[in-house]
Amino acid sequence: MAPAAVARPAVRPDLVALEGYHSPQVDVAVRLNTNESPIPPPAAWRDALAAELSRIEWHRYPDRAATELRAAIAGLHGVDPAQVLAANGSNEVIQSLCLAYGGAGRTAAVFEPTYRLHSHIASITGTAVAVGLRAPDLSLDLDEVRRVLRQAEPALTFLCSPNNPTGMVDPPEAVREVAELAPGVVVVDEAYGQFADRSALELVDEDRPVVVTRTYSKTWSMAGARLGYLVGPSWLVAELEKVVLPYHLDAAKQVAGRLALRFEAEMRERVAGLVAERERLVAGLGRLPVEQWPSGANFVLFRPTGGDGHAVWEGLLERSVLVRDCSSWPGLEGCLRVTVGTPAEDDAFLAALAEVLGS
């Protein structure tokens, strides 16, 4: 006789309606959907890493405070190591912020369309989400920001500059104003920071609850490492250290991240190359029947005119080109987002798009 089915335990009620975060990983020839770097890190970094990995004491726990990694990141930004929190991708940094400053009875503010994991991670941590909207041209609308901050009094306010998926960079005056108006912690997500010509890092000091998050996944070409960090006031970092799990950063990752910073000049060179390639991609899109938004990142948001964005996404996929389908996201009807790839990948994308659009 088959055993009687066991009743499945109920999940937390606030998770019932929550959908997982999906970004399809499809096997295609041209993958331009997750804003990775198309160029690997330098071979010299690989060699240095291999040498240091061979000396790791694998039977010991890693340095819990990630002392050397934090010192290296602090050195890069000219801040104190106590002002740096490193974590498994900037997503874990965001999760730590939500765990420490969000949670039951507290609210996080986001301005859509923006990086969806801000509201998703807030929800997972039991933080309520107050959604404000960007202006019709997708820029940050300060009147709307004031309204949301007044009504929701958020414990956390998320900005994203360059903003994913629009690519737009928030003007420094606007970021400064939000920092002055917000009642709680202001998080400026700069995952694409080095692609832009301005940063909120200059706003970080010991007196203001402003933090800037960065990642190794994009400009440092290390998405495989899962490493990100935050720069903020040391007293705030100390609170975040209470919510991260002990030894959350493994020994190999700490070494990989520390060594990567020795190759800053190479990173800047890669970024400059990708910015130039982005302008070529933008020019190519400009010759096709699409609307596009100004990008300060390594991706471009565009909307095929008069067409069905999802059908265009499918048409590209049939041609083995994968881009991000944002066509059903609120405020982005019909839009797709393409990551800047190698010149060959971008040419393949432009050719496939021209074919799909029949131009």
Token pair 């059908």 is found at: 311
For ligand PMP, what does the binding mask look like between residues 115 and 134, x meaning CB under 6 A? x-------------------
Closest to ligand PMP by CB, 90 vs 295, is 90
- Distance between CA 326 and CA 301 in Å, rounded? 9
In the list 95, 127, 139, 215, the residue contacting ligand PMP (rule: CB under 6 A) is 215
Q: How far is the CB of 345 from ligand PMP (least distance, A)?
A: 18
Segment 13 to 52, residues that bind ligand PMP, using CB under 6 A: 35
Q: Exposed, middle or buried: residue 181 (CB in 10 Å: 0-12, 13-18, 19+)?
A: middle
Q: How far is the CB of 162 from ligand PMP (least distance, A)?
A: 8
Residues in binding contact with ligand PMP, number by CB under 6 A? 13
Residue 89 touches ligand PMP, criterion: CB under 6 A: yes
In the list 37, 91, 157, 219, the residue contacting ligand PMP (rule: CB under 6 A) is 91
Residue 111 touches ligand PMP, criterion: CB under 6 A: no
Segment 56 to 75, residues that bind ligand PMP, using CB under 6 A: none
Q: How far is the CB of 32 from ligand PMP (least distance, A)?
A: 13
Residue 325 touches ligand PMP, criterion: CB under 6 A: no
CB 239 within 8 A of CB 85: no
Q: How far is the CB of 136 from ligand PMP (least distance, A)?
A: 22
Which two three-digit tokens encode residue 43?
């071979």
Q: How far is the CB of 296 from ligand PMP (least distance, A)?
A: 12
Q: How far is the CB of 196 from ligand PMP (least distance, A)?
A: 12
- Distance between CA 359 and CA 352 in Å, rounded? 10
Distances (CA, A) of 259 to 58, 76, 253: 19, 12, 10
Of 64, 83, 63, nearest in space to 73 by CA = 83
CB 161 within 8 A of CB 213: no
Other beta carbons within 10 angstroms of residue 306's beta carbon come to 8
List CB contacts of 273: < 8 A, sequence separation 6 or more.
39
CB 331 within 8 A of CB 138: yes
Q: How far is CA 277 from the centre of its chain?
A: 21
In the list 164, 194, 199, 295, the residue contacting ligand PMP (rule: CB under 6 A) is 164
Residue 228 touches ligand PMP, criterion: CB under 6 A: yes
- Distance between CA 304 and CA 301 in Å, rounded? 10
Closest to ligand PMP by CB, 170 vs 189, is 189
What number of residues does the chain have?
Answer: 359
- Distance between CA 228 and CA 92 in Å, rounded? 8
Q: How far is the CB of 277 from ligand PMP (least distance, A)?
A: 19
In the list 33, 83, 125, 217, the residue contacting ligand PMP (rule: CB under 6 A) is 217
Residue ranges in contact with ligand PMP by CB under 6 A: 35, 89-91, 115, 160, 164, 189, 191, 215, 217, 223, 228
